[in-house]
Amino acid sequence: MVKRTKILIVGSGGNGISLAVLLDKAGHSDFTIITKHGDFGGAWFQNTYPGCEVDCASSVYQFGFRPNPDWSALFVGQPELMAYMQRVAAENRLYERTLFGCEMTHARWNEATACWQVETTAGLIEAEHLMLATGFLEEAVIPDLPGLNTFAGPAFHSSQWPEGFSGEGQRIAVIGSGSSAIQIVPALQERAVHVWQFQRTPTWLLPKNNRLLTDAERQLLAASPEEMERQRAEVFEQEEKLWQDTFVSMNGAEYERQARIYLENQIADPELRRLLTPGHAMGCKRPLVSDNYYNSLIQDNVTLVPEGVAGIRDGSLVTTGGKSFEVDAIVFATGFYFGGHILHLVERRDGQTVGGWQAGHPRAYKSVSVAGCPNLYLVGGPAPNGQIWNGLYPGEAVATYVLRILEHLHDKGLRAIEIREEAELEWKRAADALLDKAPVVAGGCTNYSLDDTGHNKAAWPGTLRSMTAALSDFDASKYDPV
């Protein structure tokens, strides 16, 4: 056995950091963090591709308990975000309570000891409470292209960027057209001989309006917490409305209009505009934001290819339309399996895995508690319907909920509680009823948010305010003691 701990947190991204810090501040210091990564940062540790930056304004994409007046831009890049998270982890002494390079491989509840027995690549850990904060965009999807093993050059997923690879002087294929691709293409355009971007489906894109903050602006934020909070509140309201209109309802027409105007202003060629115009509702796929993507497409060394890739033949990349391209490197900006498969590694009390039992329709009460799994808490990414516009926030919201449960267990002298299955199903039915009317399901496209039954497995069914309210309220009648 590696160790025994009261609380085991799996994951070292923003949500894992929030959980650990807020638990510690509340007096629950007996916790251990494990992560397959080599440091803190989560997605910002894993993704190092050129051009990588956040698409949520820095003023709100930060820990509520550690506001940062020192951001260099309205939307900052990966190195700055990772450094911020690692600084917060160091300030709160999380490094000495973390096992790096340690991946969870299985977890089962031990009735006799009322603990989770968690198998890891470093050995067995026993914990009274298990909290999964492993992210929703960390399990890469790489298409199984015929002949890929015969390709002589580098071929890699955007989240597995080789150290030192710049694309300088090379002919590069970028497969995909989502949020990573639109950052990678402009960055490679500046260095590569030629970039071909292969697009199966266009996505709505809005301007980011990013810029560096001046020294005077940063000094003002450092000197005036009130001004920093005012700016945060302003962005918060904008993002709440965007999320409500484009993910929770079908009110995205105004954003579509803005996106069309932006496209027309940036792309003069009517044929290229046609290829870049989506045929689905705003919000069906994750909307994109960029200030330089469209401009990169009109450069002489970039070509948009509106076809998928069928495979590799005779060393060349071949599209579904039969076109052939000689390239030196292939970048798969092909996305992720939303939430990963970690729930297939967790056994319910009846011996079935959560993933197997739920049979392609993942669910959890309030996105946190899973039937058949005492003292298990899902946070953000692996949590069905746990996604919200500010992906850094669920750790804070769930920490509030966890503290309510820990207080209840202490007050009642209980060792563990478990959500009732009917409560879990009732909550999921209500979430599906709302989200089935929203663009992810009804918007006319395929996307990574749909589960095997056609429902939205990703989005929280409401705004960040509603998530805060729901996870501030613990109803013990929905749970049974174990």
Give the model confidence (pLDDT) of 350-386 as tens digits.
Answer: 999 999 999 999 999 999 999 999 999 999 988 999 9
Quote the CA–CA distance of 85 and 92 in Å, as a whole number: 11
Helix (H) or strand (E) holding 115: strand 115-120
Which residue is associated with the tokens 């009130």? 226
Quote the CA–CA distance of 3 and 5 in Å, as a whole number: 7
Quote the CA–CA distance of 175 and 329 in Å, as a whole number: 11
Query: Is the pLDDT assigned to residue 325 strictly greater than 90?
Result: yes
**Per-residue pLDDT band at 76 (split at 50, 70, 90):** very high
Please write the tens of the pLDDT for every residue from 416-441: 999 999 999 999 999 999 999 999 99
**Per-residue pLDDT band at 137 (split at 50, 70, 90):** confident
Strand-pairing partners, residue 131, are 9, 377
Calculate the average pLDDT of the chain: 97
Q: Is the pTM of this model over 0.95?
A: yes
Average pLDDT rounded to a whole number, residues 122-133: 98
**Per-residue pLDDT band at 2 (split at 50, 70, 90):** confident
Please write the tens of the pLDDT for every residue from 43-64: 999 999 999 999 999 999 999 9
Please write the tens of the pLDDT for every residue from 3-41: 999 999 999 999 999 999 999 999 999 999 999 999 999
**Per-residue pLDDT band at 1 (split at 50, 70, 90):** low
Task: Give the DSSP letter of residue 197.
Answer: E
By percentage, how much of the chain surpasses pLDDT 70? 100
CB 459 within 8 A of CB 248: yes
Please write the tens of the pLDDT for every residue from 81-105: 999 999 999 999 999 999 999 999 9
Structural tokens at position 202: 């266009």
At residue 138, the pLDDT reads: 87
Average pLDDT rounded to a whole number, residues 199-223: 97
Higher-confidence position of 138 and 129 = 129
Query: Is the pLDDT assigned to residue 477 strictly greater than 90?
Result: yes
Quote the CA–CA distance of 290 and 208 in Å, as a whole number: 5
Query: Is the pLDDT assigned to residue 221 strictly greater than 80?
Result: yes
